[in-house]
Structures are given as C-alpha cells and as structure tokens.
Amino acid sequence: MTDPTPLKLLNREQAILEFNRRVLAQAQREDVPLLERLRYICIVSSNLDEFFEVRFADMLDAARDPVSPVTGQDVERVGRAAHTLIDEQYHVFNEQVMPLLMQQRIVILNHADRDGPQRAWVSKFFEREVKPLLVPVGLDPAHPFPQVANKSLHFIARLSGKDAFGRDTRIAIVKVPRVLPRVIKMPGNLSDGRQAFVLLTSVIRAHLEELFPGRKVEAFSQFRVTRDSDLEVDEEEIANLRHALRSGLTTRHFGRAVRLEVVNTCPTELSEFLLEQFGLPMAALYRVNGPVNLVRLNELIDLTDAPALRFKPYEPAWPARRLPRHKSIFEQLRKGDVLLHHPFESFEPVVQLLREAVNDPDVLAIKQTIYRTGAKSELMDLLIEAARRGKEVMAVVELKARFDEEANINWAERLEAVGAQVVYGIVGYKTHAKLLLVMRREGSKLRRYAHLSTGNYNPKTARLYTDLGLLTADADLTADADAVFRQLASLGKFKAPRRMLLAPFNMHSRMVEQLGLVEASALAGYKAARVVVKINALTDAELIHALLRAAQAGAKVDLIVRGACMLPPGLPGVSDNIVVRSVVGRFLEHSRVCYFRWADHPTGSDDGEALYLSSADWMSRNMFRRIEVAWPVLDPKLRQRVIDEALVPYLHDTKDAWQLGPDGRSLRIGGESGVGAQQALMRRFLE
C-alpha cells in the first residue's frame, strides 16, 4: 500500500487551542445555565494552564532543537492564537456572563462599587484574615527577587520615597498565600438582597498601601507566572522511581517560566521588569482584563445559592435488569457480560464488585491498575482492606500520571504498608490501561472476573466523563487481563493475548491492519465499507495515513474526536470522504470506540465488522510509549448497544457537535434547538 497524496497535517498545539475555543463557545450559549457558563470559562483557564505547562513548554524545547521540524515561526503562530483565545475568553467573561449574573443579582463588588459599610467589613476582613499572612519583600541586594512558584498569585508594587533604613527600595513583591480563599461572600445584611462577592485580589488591592507604612504605592499589578511543569526523571539512572518523583515534586513548581500574566492596567515598566526577572520575551506577556486566574472563580459558583442557574442534577441509572441490586455480582457475571455506560449509568457496580471481592472469603487475589483515582478513593481503601484481610493484592500504580503524581505516591506507600504488592509498570512506559481482576475459588477451580474500562477508577469523574466499562467473566478476556498484569510485573517476553490488543506491542499494527481491511473491501467495490472512530485525540501520522487510504479507496470515514485532530478533513480528492466531528456538552467526552466494517473476508470474521473499546487515543505516545489495552466486543447484542449509544447519537448530534474544516477551524452543527447526544442518552437511561 502506498501513502496517499502528501498533505500537511494540522498543527497539534493549534488543534488544542481550537478545542478550547469550542469549550469557550459553551459559555456563550443561552441554553446553558448561567453558572455553568461561568464554569466553562473556568475550564478553559484550567485547560490553558496545562497547555502552557506541558504542550507549549515542549514546543519551546522543540524549537530550540536544530533537528526538530518545529520552528520559531510555529511558536509565534501558536502564541498569537493563544493571545487571541484568551482575549476572547475575558471578553465573554466581562461583556456577556458577568452582566447576566448581575441581572440575577449575583455581583462581584470592586472597591469602587462598595459602599461605606461594605468597605468597613472588607477592611476588618483584611485585618483579621489576610494581613497577618502577607509578607511584602522590598527588593535590594540583600533581598533579591524571590522564588515565584508556578501559578502562584503575587502583587508587584512601585513605592515612593525611601524605607526606614534610608534605602531606595522602590519595588516590592507580595505573595498571596494559596490557603486564602480567592472569592469571599459578603454577609446578607450588607448585600441589599443580592448575593455579593469580593475577590481576594480586590481586598488586597484596596489595602495594599497598609503593608508599606509611610510610603505611597505609585503603581501596582497582580501577576502570575506559568512554568514548565513536566516532571523529568531519568528512569534508567535511578534506583527508586517513587523516591525520585517525590523529590521532583518539590522542584516542579520552579521550572522554566513560559508565560507571564498581568492585569491590563499594569504599567509597562513593571511588566518589563517582571519579564526580565523571568527571562521571558514580550510575546510571553499576557495582559488580561480581569483576575489573572479565572480558575479560582469556581469558588464563586460553589458559594452561590442559585440551583436554577446550574444544570439539573442527574442521578446515574443502576443497571437493574442486568445487575439486580441485592444479588451477587459474581453470580450475574457467570450468566453473561455487563456493559456500563458512564455517566448515564452508575459507576457503583464497579465499586460493588470490589467490595464484594474484599468481603468474599473465596476471593484469593485482586489486581488493579491505578492511574487517576483521586486523593480520596473508596476503591483504594477497599484494596487496602483486602490486603489487611490477607488477600493477594497487586496494584500497578502509575506514578507519572501528570499532576496526580503525589496522590498516587501516597496510595502506593499506603498499599505497601499493609503488604500489597505494588509495582510501577515498565521503565519508560506509562501504564494507562484500566484493568481490575478478581480471582475466586469456585469448587476445585479458580475463576477470574474482570472490569475493563476506557476511563479511570475515579467515582467522581465517572459522573462527569463519558466512558464505557465491561464487567466480564469471559475466560479469554480475563486470562488476557491476567497476562497483562504478569507482563507488567515480570520481565518476560511478550506473548500476544488471545483477544486483547496491548500497546506498545500489537495495538497500533492491528488498528492499521483493520483499516487496511476496510481499504481493500472499498477497492473491491464494497459500498458499505465503513470506519467510525470515537477518541479524544488523533495525532499519529501512520494512523492518519491509513485512514486517508481507506477514505480514498471509497470507504466512508466518520471520526468523533473531542480534542486535538491533526487530520485535515474535506480536502478535495484527498480527505473529502472523511468527516471529523467534536462533541462538547455537559459531560466530558472520554470513551474510545473503534468500529470497522468490511465485506465478508477470508480472515474468518463472521459478519465483516469489528468493534473495539480501548483506553488509548490515536496518538503515537499512547501506541508506543504507554501500556494500553483494547478489547473486542464480540457479543452481538452488546456490540449493537455500543453502536447505538456511543456512536450513532454522536453522528446525528445537532446541538453540541462541531465539524472540523480543512483549515483546522470548527463550525457548530445545528444549534441550541437541535438534538444532543448526551441529552438523548440521559433521557434514555432515565426512562
């Protein structure tokens, strides 16, 4: 097979920014509850923080590498796109969302807006709660520019005159402690029937001069610096990965600076001074019209009493017909597999499976992968209890799950303390597979039960992310899961599982092979040749070219890609048979589903189609630098259910869907009056 017509792939970083533009568009929708619109603004800020900490930082490194294809012009182009997006974000915040909140009598009061009694209350709050924790640092040779941690909030001030020692300390830095709330709700008796809030920055700004007795504050600004936060450890050179990462967590906060945020009123001399201190070019300066960290406005959402301005609560359904609540899950799984579709269905059956395993004296061993499970987790508590009860517990803890490293290190230490076998996977590869395996003695035999998932073992995010999980006692699948755990714990040679695909070994090649089958059937004239892939990101060049070959052969290709997609669809004669959609709704789309349809084929397929669920996105790092699993859904009823729930509604979404153009820009499909996949699924499961 030859590669299709050469084409320039879309830029990955700009594709990430385009995804965040789609998220920001949610904040502009009149059919989205008002506080949820504010939450989408906060989500964009959180996403952009990680973008600068990781992706943009990597891009800067690549641009310095003489053999890298990334150029300084690429960096400038992405930087301009980021500036444009952030300016648009603050425009939506200031000109759309905040005025509407004011109409609902929910207000943020600046110093100029506060009346006498309100100012008096703020002054007392400052004296009592804030001032004792502030330590201003005047800069001079004995007090150099302080260490400024990643994303920590500071003030810079230019002062008049000289200090008590006669020194010309004109510049001072004030760190704002993270322990202080960023949003404070004012007492009802001072709010005139409104819900009134003040921002911590406004409180400090109003009383900044009190920190410098006898001197005037001539100019000031909030500022925040974003740093390269990827933890780098040489896994080949260290004896204990956990200890190395524990040490690295303390230095992560002081990596190389990549972005400086100041308020738009910051005097040029102060912003230039800060750029010089952080070694940043002018392009790295972001002047914003509002708080420099909109993420913390989540506190306002949480403090506001206005249920009508939030999404209506949704309680995930319990799969009662497949798993009667008061019957043994082991007993039900012996009758057949159970598919769970989160968050429309409850994650509780997974917790119940583990709970039952811990309490069952016939369960001998439990094995689980741990990627993002959270700082508090009933699942982890159950694993610890299982080990305490003498069961064999094996936990594959991924210590390098970005920004969850500390929580995972803590869980690893707690598990080891009770005698669980804790392994950290394979050096150089992140363990991203989501597997839970239970081994139970039944008569004279051992039977395995497993849970395989596209998402994390985190009950909290299982209510917010769409994912698919399979509870199974299938002999082949559970044996494959056991083989994966053995592979992660030992140094044995790879042996292909019976049904599962395992990255970095055979998943990528099998996906290319499946696309090749579709291509061949399309070339043979089979008009129903079809590919539908639902993933979070598509950036692997070889898979992109395999998709293009299938499409150019005549196969219809639909891609549902939530985030970054580097394949430019709709190019005449190249990718005009490919449609790329993205769905951005109430829940974060997270499930990975790969469907291939070809004619009856001598490979032995019964009906010329295959459907896989997977933990992996179609990115090179997932296929070659991570431990990932994919597994086929062979039961015809379950396979059809996945198609009907996880693919078809998204292909027909006319409310939350966007279509990607060949230039990398997205256009919304339909509008607020359309039919959304997520809303349709919520209704289906409620019924």
Q: Is 372 annotated as a binding residue?
A: yes
Q: Could you give the 3-state DSSP secondary structure of residue 14?
A: helix
Residue recorded with tokens 């008061």: 326
Q: Is 424 annotated as a binding residue?
A: no
Task: Say how far apart CA 550 and CA 543 lie, in whole Å.
Answer: 11
Structure tokens at 139: 């800069």
Name 580's bridge partners: 559
Q: What are the CA-CA distances from residue 463 to residues 142, 290, 339 (Å)?
A: 52, 31, 16
Could you read off the pLDDT of 561-606 as tens digits, one per residue?
999 999 999 999 899 999 999 999 999 999 999 999 997 644 444 5
CA nearest neighbour of 489 among 580, 369, 656: 369
Task: Say how far apart CA 683 and CA 642 lie, in whole Å.
Answer: 17
- pLDDT confidence of residue 282: 95
CA nearest neighbour of 392 among 368, 364, 423, 411: 364
- pLDDT confidence of residue 490: 77
Instruction: Judge contact between 657 and 670, C-beta under 8 A.
Output: yes
- pLDDT confidence of residue 426: 75
Q: What are the CA-CA distances from residue 624 to residues 56, 138, 503, 505, 573 (Å)?
A: 22, 51, 6, 8, 31
pLDDT band at 623 (very low <50, low <70, confident <90, very high): very high
329-499 classified as CATH 3.30.870.10: yes
Show Cβ contacts of residue 169 under 8 Å, excluding neighbours closer than 6 positions: 138, 139, 140, 143, 159, 162, 163
Q: Is 55 annotated as a binding residue?
A: no
502-686 classified as CATH 3.60.40.10: no
Could you read off the pLDDT of 635-649 as tens digits, one per residue?
999 999 999 999 999
Q: Do domains 329-499 and 502-686 have the same CATH topology?
A: yes
Name 392's bridge partners: 365
CA nearest neighbour of 437 among 401, 403, 377, 479: 479
- pLDDT confidence of residue 164: 63
Task: Say how far apart CA 565 and CA 630 lie, in whole Å.
Answer: 21
The stretches of 135-286 forming alpha helices (DSSP H) are 200-206, 241-252, 268-278
Residue recorded with tokens 């506001």: 304
Q: How many residues does the chain have?
A: 687
Residue 65 clears pLDDT 50, i.e. is over it: yes
Of 209-223, 312-326, 414-428, 431-445, least confident by mean pLDDT is 414-428
Options 3.30.1840.10, 3.20.10.10, 3.40.50.150, 3.30.420.10; CATH of 12-309: 3.30.1840.10
Task: Say how far apart CA 687 and CA 77 lie, in whole Å.
Answer: 49
Q: Which residues of 47-66 are buried (b: 16+ CB within 10 A; e: fewer)?
A: bbbebbbbbbbbbbeebeee
- pLDDT confidence of residue 196: 97
- pLDDT confidence of residue 412: 84
Helix and strand numbers (H, E) in the chain are 21, 27
**pTM (predicted TM-score):** 0.92
Give the strand pairing for 257-263 and 285-288.
parallel
- pLDDT confidence of residue 639: 96
Q: Is 11 annotated as a binding residue?
A: no
Could you read off the pLDDT of 219-240 as tens digits, one per residue?
999 999 999 977 554 444 444 5
Residue 246 clears pLDDT 90, i.e. is over it: no
For 602-625, what is the mean pLDDT? 84
**What string of H, E and C letters represents the secondary structure of 320-340?**
CCCCCCCCCHHHHHCCCCEEE
CB atoms within 10 A of CB 407: 18
Q: Is 530 annotated as a binding residue?
A: no
Residue 1 clears pLDDT 70, i.e. is over it: no
Mean pLDDT, rounded, of the chain: 91
Q: Is 402 annotated as a binding residue?
A: yes
Catalytic residues: 432
Burial, 635: exposed, middle or buried (Cβ in 10 Å; 0-12, 13-18, 19+)?
A: middle
CA angle centred on 440, ends 435 and 441, rounded to 5°: 160
pLDDT band at 201 (very low <50, low <70, confident <90, very high): very high
Of 266-275, 331-340, 402-411, least confident by mean pLDDT is 402-411
Return the domain boundaries, the chain.
12-309, 329-499, 502-686
Instruction: Judge contact between 488 and 423, C-beta under 8 A.
Output: yes
Could you read off the pLDDT of 458-512 as tens digits, one per residue?
999 999 999 999 999 999 999 999 999 998 887 677 788 899 999 999 999 999 9
- pLDDT confidence of residue 332: 96
Q: What are the CA-CA distances from residue 245 to residues 319, 407, 415 (Å)?
A: 41, 12, 17
